[in-house]
A and B are shown apart, each in its own frame.
Chain A
């Protein structure tokens, strides 16, 4: 049994960790880019790249407020992202059960 049924956008180590971390927040809550980076231990460039991919897929929402050093970027899992993670988790469970 292969991993074809696993969402390729989530089935990558960094993005899986990003989505799982954001899913730990209640629906609609956001986390700052800095806190997310601290929690995941990713470089800013790496995190931005993966956030963009997830945002393009509609799995997360990012918002930037302010400008310059005082600017704040936040990210949150969308309803679509939460559903995608649930589907991914179920598919993963089925795959493991079939091993």
Chain B
């Protein structure tokens, strides 16, 4: 029996307890996976939730702009829904993150704060630049369509891919690069359909990431004792 419930009993057994290699491997694998889950600030369930919310947000905007001729941009209601969902997701992320990092002191906390400020600055700058395009007389198809749907993902996604690669988080880096490629290609769908393409594509990428992460948590086969 190597179920999670009896782990403390195993752990508190006598010092001289003979641990055979298979049991040790199972205990190591089980403990490692459980610790990874508990310390993970971006668990698969959060990715799943993000995938659903992204689909709702972009779908909501796409429904408000499809068929517009000439293109004028998303409705006020669609934007209210978008920002309500966005802030709700941010709140969930903060809660999940604070639970995962409870009692944990990051050596690199200053570096992470600096990265957070950098990403926030980049994100805001993308929209400030959109304002400059509007000010210069660029039409709504770009200012309220292609640019806000695709540019934030290309620019912030590119920065995220570089950051994650520097941390050797290859899965997250690959996801960020896929988001960049998706947004660039989706821009060809036009000012209305770009919202739909990005929404579906981003949602699928997040679902794929959640599935890959859940699979990774299954652990190495050599140490598995369940299902034999």
Contacts and interface: CB of A to CB of B under 8 A. Distances in A.
B110 interface: no
A43 interface: yes
Given A17-B31, A43-B12, A46-B12, A11 B24 contact: yes
Q: How large is the interface on A (under 10, 10 to 19, 20 to 34, 35 or more residues)?
A: 35 or more
B17 interface: yes
B201 to A, nearest CB: 31
A17 B24 contact: no
A89 B108 CA distance: 27
A32 B19 contact: no
B28 A20 contact: yes
B7 A17 contact: yes
Contacts of A16: 19, 24, 27-28, 31
A31 to B, nearest CB: 5
B11 A29 contact: no
B105 A30 contact: yes
Contacts of B103: 31-32, 34-36
Interface stretch (B34-42, B47-55, B79-87, B114-122): B34-42
A6 to B, nearest CB: 7
Nearest to B103: A35
Contact of B39 (A13, A24, A40): A24
A20 B19 contact: no
Given A13-B19, A16-B31, A92-B24, A41 B8 contact: yes
Interface in A1-16: 3, 6, 11-14, 16
A23 B22 CA distance: 20
A13 B12 CA distance: 8
Shortest 6 CB-CB distances between A and B: which pairs?
A35-B103, A28-B107, A41-B8, A24-B35, A32-B103, A20-B31
30 contacts: A6-B24, A13-B13, A16-B31, A17-B7, A17-B27, A17-B31, A21-B31, A21-B32, A21-B35, A23-B35, A24-B32, A24-B35, A24-B36, A24-B38, A25-B39, A26-B106, A29-B105, A30-B107, A31-B105, A32-B103, A32-B104, A34-B103, A39-B38, A41-B11, A46-B12, A74-B105, A92-B24, A96-B22, A96-B223, A99-B21
Given A17-B27, A31-B103, A97-B222, 6 more contacts: A13-B10, A13-B17, A13-B27, A16-B27, A39-B34, A92-B21
